[in-house]
Amino acid sequence: MHMQLFVYGSGTGLNRHPLVESGFESYHTAMDERRAPLLLHCCCGPCSTASIERLRELGYEPVLFYGNSNIHPQQEAERRYEALRQVAGHFNLSIVRHPWDHAAWLEAVAGHELDKERGARCALCFQWNLQEAAEEAIRLGIDSFTTTLTVSPHKDSPLIFSIGKHHPGFVAVDFKKKGGYQRSILLSKELELYRQDYCGCEFSQRGLAKQEQADGHDSHTT
Ligand code: SF4
């Protein structure tokens, strides 16, 4: 039993990542073949914990996927990725990682910088991450994919589902249900994972700073 880890270059397209093609064969040998493979977009380590458990209960074996160009600054994206590596090690799962391209993400949400959290910018952000995961699942030949984003009580699961359903193979699971969010907190503490206190982009960071000034507390928000 061992963790497989694959990090590869920029861009998308079926023929551009031979390293992952060989990695894909390897991860098949490491997977529990009693379960169906599913690509799991992971927003961070903590949210992935309970999602992985739930997916295994549902008969899936996740391959973890980390793109998350919405996260700012890059150091924060790296920190969350390191937490995901801990999770992958704990559950003996593979990670596929895309390069961090925050400039492209900023272009995708241009004009919505001042939107409040849970507004149109967040819908575009979900669309970005779901599309990236959907394309990666196709590229790897994995029939199903989903996202950990629904763990958070701050995220609108019906909105995420309405975006996901436009992609073939999307599996709608509301991970916050059945105590999923509470379970993610418990497992994060057990594994001593880094837990962030803002959603991800610089706009959510500014929103947190304002809120902290107003009421003097902080919290894990994704
Ligand atoms: S607040 Fe979170 S979901 Fe919304 S745009 Fe920023 S990173 Fe994305």
pLDDT digits (tens, 9 = 90+) for 38-82: 999 999 999 999 999 999 999 999 999 999 999 999 999 999 999
Instruction: Look at residue 18 in the predicted model and tell me its pLDDT.
Output: 29
Test site for ligand 1: of 150, 199, 208, 220, most ligand atoms within 8 A of the Cβ = 199
Q: Ligand 1: which residue has its CA nearest to atom 4?
A: 122
Distance from Cα 25 to the centre of ligand 1, integer Å: 34
Residue 122: inside a domain, yes or no? yes
pLDDT of 105 strictly over 50 = yes
Per-residue confidence band for 216, with pLDDT thresholds at 50, 70 and 90 = low
Reported as a single tens digit per residue, the pLDDT across 112-153 is: 999 999 999 999 999 999 999 999 999 999 999 999 999 999
Per-residue confidence band for 37, with pLDDT thresholds at 50, 70 and 90 = very high
Distance from Cα 51 to the centre of ligand 1, integer Å: 20
Residues 135 and 185: their CA atoms lie apart, in Å, by 30
Q: What is the DSSP string of the chain?
A: ----EEE--S---TTS-HHHHHHHHHHHHHS-TTSEEEEEE-S-HHHHHHHHHHHHHTTEEEEEEE--TT-SSHHHHHHHHHHHHHHHHHHT--EEEPPP-HHHHHHHTTT-TTPPTTSHHHHHHHHHHHHHHHHHHHHHT-SEEEEGGGGSTTS-HHHHHHHHTTSTTB----TTTTTHHHHHHHHHHHTT----SS-SSHHHHHHHHHHHHHH-------
Q: Ligand 1: which residue has its CA nearest to atom 6?
A: 201
Domain that holds residue 116: 5-215
pLDDT of 17 strictly over 80 = no
Ligand 1 atom closest to Cα of 112? 5
Per-residue confidence band for 222, with pLDDT thresholds at 50, 70 and 90 = low
Distance from Cα 125 to the centre of ligand 1, integer Å: 6
Test site for ligand 1: of 129, 150, 201, most ligand atoms within 8 A of the Cβ = 201
Residue 101: inside a domain, yes or no? yes
State the pTM of this model: 0.85
Residue 123: inside a domain, yes or no? yes
Residue 222: inside a domain, yes or no? no
Residues 170 and 130: their CA atoms lie apart, in Å, by 9
Q: Ligand 1: which residue has its CA nearest to atom 3?
A: 122
Residue 220: inside a domain, yes or no? no
Domain count, the chain: 1
List residues near ligand 1 (CB under 6 A). Answer: 70, 117, 121-122, 125, 199-201, 203-204
Average confidence (pLDDT) over 156-181? 97
pLDDT of 11 strictly over 50 = no
Structure tokens at 221: 């928000």
Residue 221: inside a domain, yes or no? no
CATH number of the domain where residue 180 is located: 3.40.50.620
pLDDT of 158 strictly over 90 = yes
Mean pLDDT of the chain: 86
Distance from Cα 30 to the centre of ligand 1, integer Å: 34
Residue 58: inside a domain, yes or no? yes
Residue 161: inside a domain, yes or no? yes
Residue 212: C-alpha distances to residues 100, 114, 130, 203, 215 (Å)? 28, 18, 30, 14, 5
Ligand 1 atom closest to Cα of 155? 3
